[in-house]
Structure 1
Amino acid sequence: MKVLVVGASGATGSKLVEQLLIEKHKVKVIVRSPEKLPESWKTNEALEVISASVLELSDTEMQEIVSNCNAVASCLGHNLTWKGIYGKPRRLVTDATQRLCDAINANNHQTPTKFVLMNTTGNRNRDLNEPISFAQKCVIGLLRMLLPPHVDNEKAADYLRTQIGQNNTSIEWVTVRPDGLINEVAVSDYEIHPSPTRSAIFNAGKVSRINVGHFMASLIHDNNLWTKWKGQMPVIYSKLH
Structure 2
Amino acid sequence: MKTLVVGASGSTGKLLVMQLLAAGQEVKIIVRPTSNIPDTWNNNDNITIIRINDISNIPVNEMSGYLKDCQSVASCLGHNLSFKGMYGKPKLLITDTVQIICETIIKNAPEKPLRFVLMNTAGNNNKNLNEPVSFGQKIVIGLFRLLLPPHSDNENAADYLRVKIGQKNRFIEWVTVRPDNLINAQIVTEYSLHASPTRSALFNPGQTSRINVAHFMSQLIINDTIYNKWSGQMPVIYNNITEIK
Q: Map 1:94-173 to 2 at 5 A.
A: 94-173=95-174
Tell me the equivalent position of 2:41: 41
**Residue-by-residue CA offset, 1:114-162 (whole Å, 9 max, x unaligned):** 0000000010000002101101111101101110000000000000000
**Residue-by-residue CA offset, 1:68-123 (whole Å, 9 max, x unaligned):** 10000000000000000001100000000000000011000110000000000010
Where 1:176 maps in the other structure, the secondary structure is: strand
Aligned-residue offset at 1:61:
0.9
Question: Identity, % of aligned pairs?
Answer: 56
| Conserved 8 A contact 1:34-1:49 | no
Structure 1 stretch 54-63 or stretch 145-154: which is displaced more?
54-63
Where 2:89 maps in the other structure, the secondary structure is: coil
Amino acid at match of 1:222: N
Amino acid at match of 2:204: N
Tell me the equivalent position of 1:6: 6
1:175 and 2:176 correspond: yes
Tell me the equivalent position of 2:55: 54
| Conserved 8 A contact 1:30-1:51 | yes
Where 2:116 maps in the other structure, the secondary structure is: strand
Aligned-residue offset at 1:65:
0.4
TM superposition score normalised by structure 2: 0.97
| Conserved 8 A contact 1:72-1:114 | yes
User: Which whole-Å CA distance do the structure 2 matches of 1:34 and 1:8 have between them?
Assistant: 13
**Count, aligned residues:** 241
Aligned-residue offset at 1:57:
2.1
| Conserved 8 A contact 2:182-2:209 | yes
RMSD value, Cα: 0.9
What 5-or-longer segments of structure 1 have no aligned partner? none
TM superposition score normalised by structure 1: 0.98
Tell me the equivalent position of 2:75: 74
User: Which whole-Å CA distance do the structure 2 matches of 1:42 and 1:176 have between them?
Assistant: 29
Aligned-residue offset at 1:34:
5.8
User: Which whole-Å CA distance do the structure 1 matches of 2:29 and 2:39 have between them?
Assistant: 14
| Conserved 8 A contact 1:192-1:235 | yes
1:200 and 2:201 correspond: yes
Amino acid at match of 1:19: Q
Where 1:36 maps in the other structure, the secondary structure is: coil
User: Which whole-Å CA distance do the structure 2 matches of 1:110 and 1:34 have between them?
Assistant: 36
User: Which whole-Å CA distance do the structure 2 matches of 1:239 and 1:33 have between them?
Assistant: 38
| Conserved 8 A contact 1:117-1:174 | yes
User: Which whole-Å CA distance do the structure 2 matches of 1:63 and 1:190 have between them?
Assistant: 36
1:90 and 2:91 correspond: yes
Change (3 A) 1:34 1:3: farther
Where 1:50 maps in the other structure, the secondary structure is: strand
**Residue-by-residue CA offset, 1:22-57 (whole Å, 9 max, x unaligned):** 110000000003662101111111011001131232
